[in-house]
Each structure stands twice: as C-alpha cells, then as structure tokens.
C-alpha cells in the first residue's frame, strides 16, 4: 500500500498537559486510543506543570539551591510515572539523559539565557512525556513507537515563536510519518520543531495544538481530536459562570474568534491548518470521554445570534494622541510603520479625530502582559503623546450576523451599564463584539452577560 493511499484514512489525537499529567492520566489517554482503531498518530504535550519549571530554568536561575529544587521537581514528576511502569528500564535511560541535558542547559542559562537556549530547554518536557506515553501504550499491548517530530516539523529560526515551513513538513511527513502510521500507533511531540540547522525550535505558548494541526494537515488526516481537561467548548469558562453549557458543534469561524479572544481551549492558529484542508476538529475531555465534546466544522447546522463569551486578560492598551491627526493624511501609516519596524503586533484598534487606541498582541511564550519597548515609545513620542495602560481584560461576545440584528446592542450595553467599558470594537467581523474592562471587574462582567444572554430560558 503506498503512502498516498493511506493519507487521510486515520485520525490524529493530541493530548494536553493535564491529560498526560501522571501515570493514571496517561492510562486514560491510552484507553481513548485503544477505543478508536483509527487513531494512528498521537501528539503529546509535556506533563502538567513541567513547561513552567523549564521556563523558569531557561530564564536563568543563579541560585544553585533553587536550580536543584526545580530539577528535583522535574525528576519527581517523571519518576512517579516510571515507578508505575511494568518495564521502566526500557525508557529510564532516555529520561535520565534528557534530565542531564536539562541540568547542564539550566546551568548555562544561569550565566546567560537566550531564546535559542530557552527553546532547547523547554522542548525537553515533550521529549520526556512521549517516551513514557509510548511505553504505557506498549505495556497495554498497543504496537506503539515514539517518533521525534523534529525530523518532520521544519520551522524557521525565530526561537520562541517559530514559523512552520509547510512544504518541507508535508514532504517529510509523506516520507517518514505516513509509512510508520501504517504499521504502528506513532507517539510524537507537540509544540516543538527544528530549523534547517537541526536546532530545536518552539511554536510559542499554546503551540502544541498548532503543531498537532500542522501534523494532521501534513498527513491529510481524516480528523483531529484535541483531548484536554474540559468536555468540549462551553458558552464561557465554567469556572467563571457555573451555568455555562457545552456547545455540541461550532463553525471554524466562530471557534477561531473564540480562541483568538482568549477561550483557553484552542490556540488561535490551531485551526488554520485544519481549516485549509477542511479537517474536522473534535475537542473533548480525557478525564470524561463519555461526556462527548465539541465538533468544529466548516459548516454547522445552527448559527445562533449569541454563541459564547470569551475573556482574555493581561491586555496592554496604548493610546496615541496628536492634534496633528485632525484632518491629516498619513499619521496612522507612520504609527504602523514604527510598530512594524520593531515587529510589534497590534490586536485591536479604535480611532477618533485626534487619538488612536490599540492593544498589543501577546505572541511569545513569556506569559505576561505585552510591553511597549522603550525604543518604540521614544519613536512614537516624536509623533504624538503616548499613554500605556495595564491590568485590562478583553471581553468578547461571539455570535452570528450580529450587525444585521436590531436591538441586541441595547441588550448587551444595558446589562453592562454599571461597568466602565473601554475601546469598544465592533463591525470588522460579523462574529464578534469586544471591549476592554479593568481586570478587577472582568469576571463579574462575564457573569452578568452570560446570565442575560445565555441563561434566560
């Protein structure tokens, strides 16, 4: 059977960090794989909590005691799984080799950290979890092999947020991955890749979903399953609004908007490779697979006016004011030229006659609020006054054809009359209305809106 004949005939399943947190969690994932004979390619994250420990080490820990403490935590997480294997010896050596690598890289980072070294370090979580996961499958009688995704997932060398090289990935997957999937269940890593020199790269925070979609695209999978710790996509985060309800199916465009505006389920870019090849994406809970989940498809049966609410915190708003903007040409062009030169990505934007407000996009792995670098601020100040505000959250209402529906804006804004809303953005997409609020009231804004729009039967 040729590789091209089997392309598209199997599923790719991706398991997030909480799904592979420990032996018990990995065993639940193994059962999910056993229950679907079509699943031939498994993409795994690092065990829960591991990436955060590695990021701390990569940032450079001078205190040797603290470094040892972090190393001990990493060792304990992986040994807890090793100790429950029937044949730990088969993977113990590999785990210890990677831990030794982490220790020496962490020491190097304590002298001088770099984006390249950070990628080398943070990739180790996935490299270890896949050794353990593949062994658990083998011990359950599954013909599983571990595959190093760096042999296929080619990227450029933008460490920390590398860009995939699609043609190379597709070609290498046809050569190396598809033939393996004919014979075995293949366990590989999410989040990581390699540049042309063979250096390890990462696709940025949340990149394991993205790499799973890239891999699914490269093998022309029949479906992509993303197993996480929640049973699908909800009308909002159930930890904020306990009456949030699961959404059985949702369109790609709605799910992209949700992800883009902070729904934790999926990374915004995740959907793009699947969308390109119309690969349906399923999101379910590895803890409760029996609860079903959400299918994300190109076309769906129902398109309600209000679909969901998303919240994204750590927002940085920059307001630029200049009297010269009034009836002037080219002011915005100059602003964006400065931002583009320094590779500052802008998310939302609103303008008035003499001012423009914009939010900075969070694109890297650091996790904090995006900053406006001092050098950029100085250049902008030659054009206008610059005000930077932190501690803001973005609330997004996701739905369908809102611009064509009378009265809905009144319903939304009267519900929020006690809140100070900033930077209201609406009209660029038929699928969302969004605005900023202060972090301290963001959860109550979501609760009130959810109650009004989703809980009134």
SS3 277: coil
**Reduced DSSP (H G I as helix, E B as strand, rest coil) percent helix, strand, coil of the chain, to 5:** 45, 25, 35
For every residue of 25-93, DSSP letters joined together read HHHHHHHHHHH-TTEEEEEE-PPTTHHHHHHHHHT----HHHHHHHHHHHHHHHHHHHTT-SSTHHHHH
User: Computed over its alpha carbons, how large is the radius of gyration of the chain?
Assistant: 23
The encoded tokens of residue 172 equal: 């290498």
Q: According to the annotation, is 159 in a ligand binding site?
A: no
Q: According to the annotation, is 17 in a ligand binding site?
A: yes
Whether residue 218 contacts residue 169, with contact meaning beta carbons closer than 8 Å, is answered with: yes
Whether residue 26 contacts residue 91, with contact meaning beta carbons closer than 8 Å, is answered with: no
Cα diameter, the chain: 75
Identify which of 420, 398, 315 has the alpha carbon closest to the alpha carbon of residue 361.
315
Q: According to the annotation, is 228 in a ligand binding site?
A: yes
Q: Supply φ then ψ for residue 105, to 5 degrees.
A: -70, -35
Q: How many Cβ atoms from other residues are within 10 Å of residue 104's Cβ?
A: 9
Q: According to the annotation, is 51 in a ligand binding site?
A: yes
Q: Supply φ then ψ for residue 391, to 5 degrees.
A: 60, 40
Q: According to the annotation, is 126 in a ligand binding site?
A: yes
Ranges of beta strands (E only) in 90-160 are: 144-146
DSSP β-bridge partners for residue 202: 192
CA distances from 170 to 55, 77, 146 (A): 30, 34, 19
Alpha carbon 88 to chain centroid distance?
A: 32
Q: According to the annotation, is 15 in a ligand binding site?
A: yes
d(CA 25, CA 42): 15
Alpha carbon 21 to chain centroid distance?
A: 18
Q: According to the annotation, is 155 in a ligand binding site?
A: no
Q: According to the annotation, is 232 in a ligand binding site?
A: no
162-184: b or e for each residue (b if 16 or more CB lie within 10 Å)?
A: bebbeeebbebbbeebbeebeeb
Alpha carbon 199 to chain centroid distance?
A: 22
The encoded tokens of residue 447 equal: 């609760």
SS3 403: helix
CA distances from 260 to 342, 344, 412, 427 (A): 22, 17, 21, 16
Residue 420, C-beta contacts closer than 8 angstroms, at least 6 positions apart = 437, 438
Q: Which residues are annotated as a binding site for substrate?
A: 51, 126
Q: Which residues are annotated as a binding site for ATP?
A: 14-17, 228-229, 234, 239
Q: Which residues are annotated as a binding site?
A: 14-17, 51, 126, 228-229, 234, 239
């Amino acid at each position: 059977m040729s590789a091209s004949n089997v392309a598209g005939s199997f599923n790719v399943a991706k398991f997030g960090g909480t799904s592979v947190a420990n032996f018990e969690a990995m065993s639940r994932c193994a059962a999910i794989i056993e229950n679907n004979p079509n699943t031939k390619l498994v993409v795994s994250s690092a065990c829960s909590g591991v990436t955060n420990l590695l990021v701390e080490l990569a940032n450079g820990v001078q205190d040797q005691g603290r470094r040892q403490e972090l190393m001990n935590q990493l060792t304990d997480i992986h040994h807890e799984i090793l100790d429950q294997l029937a044949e730990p010896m088969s993977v113990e050596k590999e785990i210890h080799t990677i831990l030794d690598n982490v220790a020496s890289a962490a020491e190097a980072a304590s002298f001088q950290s770099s984006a390249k070294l950070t990628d080398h370090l943070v990739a180790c979580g996935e490299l270890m979890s896949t050794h353990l996961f593949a062994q658990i499958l083998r011990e359950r009688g599954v013909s599983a092999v571990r595959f190093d995704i760096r042999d296929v997932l080619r990227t450029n060398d933008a460490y920390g947020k590398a860009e995939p090289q699609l043609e190379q990935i597709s070609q290498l997957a046809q050569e190396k991955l598809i033939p393996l999937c004919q014979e075995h269940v293949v366990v590989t890593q999410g989040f990581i890749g390699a540049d042309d020199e063979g250096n390890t790269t990462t696709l940025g925070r949340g990149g394991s979903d993205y790499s799973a979609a890239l891999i699914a695209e490269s093998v022309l999978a029949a479906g992509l399953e993303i197993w996480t710790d929640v049973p699908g996509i909800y009308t909002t985060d159930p930890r904020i609004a306990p009456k949030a309800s699961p959404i059985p199916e949702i369109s790609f465009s709605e799910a992209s908007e949700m992800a883009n505006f902070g729904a934790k389920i999926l990374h915004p870019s995740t959907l793009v490779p699947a969308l390109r090849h119309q690969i349906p994406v399923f999101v379910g809970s590895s803890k409760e697979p029996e609860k079903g989940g959400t299918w994300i498809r190109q076309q769906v049966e129902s398109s309600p006016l209000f679909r969901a609410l998303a919240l994204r915190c750590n927002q940085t708003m920059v307001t630029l004011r200049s009297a010269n903007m009034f009836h002037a040409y080219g002011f915005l062009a100059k602003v964006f030229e400065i931002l583009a030169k320094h590779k500052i990505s802008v998310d939302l934007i609103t303008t008035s006659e003499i001012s423009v407000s914009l939010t900075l996009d969070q694109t890297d792995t650091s996790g904090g609020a995006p900053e406006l670098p001092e050098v950029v601020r100085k250049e902008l100040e030659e054009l206008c006054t610059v005000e930077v505000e932190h501690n803001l959250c973005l609330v997004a209402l996701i739905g369908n054809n809102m611009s064509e529906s009378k009265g809905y804006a009144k319903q939304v804004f009267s519900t929020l009359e006690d809140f100070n809303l900033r930077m209201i953005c609406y009209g660029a997409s038929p699928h969302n209305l969004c605005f900023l609020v202060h972090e301290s009231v963001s959860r109550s804004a979501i609760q009130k809106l959810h109650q009004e729009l989703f809980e009134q039967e």
